[in-house]
Chains A and B, each alone.
Chain A
Amino acid sequence: MSSEVLQLDGVSRTYGAGATAVAALRNVNLTIHAGEFVAVMGPSGSGKSSLLTLAGGLDRATGGEVFVEGTPLGGLSINELARLRRRAVGYVFQDFNLVPTLTAAENVALPRELDGIPARKARRQANDALRLVGIEDLADRFMDQMSGGQQQRVAIARAIVGNRRLILADEPTGALDSATGDGILEVLRGRTEAGAAVVLVTHEARHAGWADRVVFLKDGRIVDEAASQHDPSVLLTGRAH
């Protein structure tokens, strides 16, 4: 199997039509492999969230094609798309999108159960994910009993549960203090080391610093990319300058 987990091929997204049409993405090309951590930066309104929703199959491109693990999303029915999302894609929404009437563990286990995994196994995977984000002791709390930062960690646990291959996170460190934010980045980094591809939208340069590649968006276009040095020996000698 190819190691390309996500591929955007000439992708455009225009909202509306005619005089009021907004071109949120224009002819974007981006390929992300297994084990890669990519950050997306850009000013507000540059198309970061649009890019992520298209990559996660939550919205459809108006031009070009999105491939997830080689499957072109354009040809899938709504049901097929939903199945692919549950199986392969973990998504952290900017506003969490958690179910308030479920506990933390139930929220995290829900996508697994919908995918036909037995409840006990789903619950065990949920607990593993909650442990990874450092809130296993809050598993039975409801959302209104949790702080913003804690809810954000539930949202991240839900995205990483069950070894998803593609993890997409939209400003997931927004409500977190600096040290907790670093902990979340450690978790995301850990997923790439387990073979997942991670795309992180962030406006915080220090968090983007964790990525292998940083893509800069502006007016719906990729204008530049920063890739870190991969050769560790270059780093060690490179630090004395």
Chain B
Amino acid sequence: MSIRHSLLALLQEGPRYGYQLRGEFEERTGSTWPLNIGQVYTTLDRLERDGLVEKEGDDGEGHVVYTITDAGRTEVTDWFAQPVAATNPPRNELAIKLALALTLDGVDVAAVVQAQRTASMRQLQDYTRQRRAAATSADAAPAAQGGPKANDAAWLLVLDSLIFTAEAEVRWLDHCEGWMAQRAVRAGKQRTAVAERQAAEHPAAAAAGTRAVSK
């Protein structure tokens, strides 16, 4: 996640100090990816060093206020214009775990798949529940405050992203399970075919042969 670009983008709306930036970031993304204030100030230091923001001074209460520079605005425009680079897939612990489970002896892959599916499903249920609650409160907003707030919409969007990601995980697990079942059937047929051929060629050795190829 680019904290750097996120903070810079928020500064386009006007000068802000660190705590304000953190608050606005979390409000828009529903605190899904919490920022610590140290990260915010380190990032602001680097942005200043790179000429993308400037210190505007003090707000009178001891907060250092930052403002975006022209170079900073160009950087934000470029960020929105460019797709997020997906050339280097993020490390996916689940894919790694299943790949290892499948290739190592003595791991019950079906059990790994089912345990994960239950956990992913529960997460999907929780996100769906939160989304319904958030949509209800966004719908309730118009009468009271003149229209749903942009930040509510942003939070719904983030929840949808979490929901679709969890859905993809469950679908992928279903796919893995189906694929493993097919492979097991094929392996079984192959064993039967080999055993039948052996039985035809060496009727006497058939019983022993079945055992020998069952690996």
Contacts and interface: CB of A to CB of B under 8 A. Distances in A.
Contact of B177 (A43, A208, A212, A224): A43
Contact of A205 (B126, B129, B133, B171): B171
A216 B118 contact: yes
Contacts of A212: 125
A214 B121 contact: yes
Contacts of A239: 30-32, 130
Given A226-B118, A226-B121, A232-B133, A209 B174 contact: no
Nearest to B181: A43
B32 A224 contact: no
A194 interface: no
Main secondary structure of the interface of B (DSSP, over half): helix
B7 to A, nearest CB: 19
Given A209-B167, A216-B117, A224-B118, A235 B129 contact: yes
Interface residues of B, number: 30
Interface residues of A, number: 26
A206 B170 CA distance: 9
Given A228-B129, A232-B133, A209 B117 contact: no
A235 B126 contact: yes
A98 B72 CA distance: 62
A218 B139 CA distance: 40
Contacts of B174: 43, 203, 205
B68 interface: no
B76 interface: no
Interface in B89-139: 114, 117-122, 124-130, 132-133
A226 B123 CA distance: 9
A223 interface: yes
A22 interface: no
Contacts of A238: 126
Given A43-B174, A228-B129, A232-B133, A208 B30 contact: no
B174 to A, nearest CB: 7
B23 interface: no
Interface string A42-86: 010000000000000000000000000000000000000000000
A188 interface: no
Contacts of B122: 226-229
B34 interface: yes
Contact of B128 (A209, A227, A232): A209
Contacts of A95: none
A151 B178 CA distance: 31
A160 B25 CA distance: 43
Most A C-beta atoms less than 10 A away, residue of B132, B170, B174:
B170
B163 interface: yes
A240 B125 contact: no
Interface in A85-117: none
A142 interface: no
B164 interface: yes
B122 to A, nearest CB: 4
Given A41-B121, A225-B118, 11 more contacts: A209-B121, A209-B127, A210-B125, A210-B132, A216-B114, A223-B114, A224-B118, A226-B122, A228-B129, A229-B129, A235-B126
Closest 3 CB pairs of A and B: A228-B125, A205-B170, A209-B128
Interface of B: 30-32, 34, 114, 117-122, 124-130, 132-133, 163-164, 166-167, 170-171, 174, 177-178, 181
14 contacts: A43-B177, A205-B124, A206-B124, A206-B163, A209-B167, A216-B118, A224-B118, A225-B118, A227-B125, A228-B122, A228-B125, A228-B126, A229-B126, A239-B31
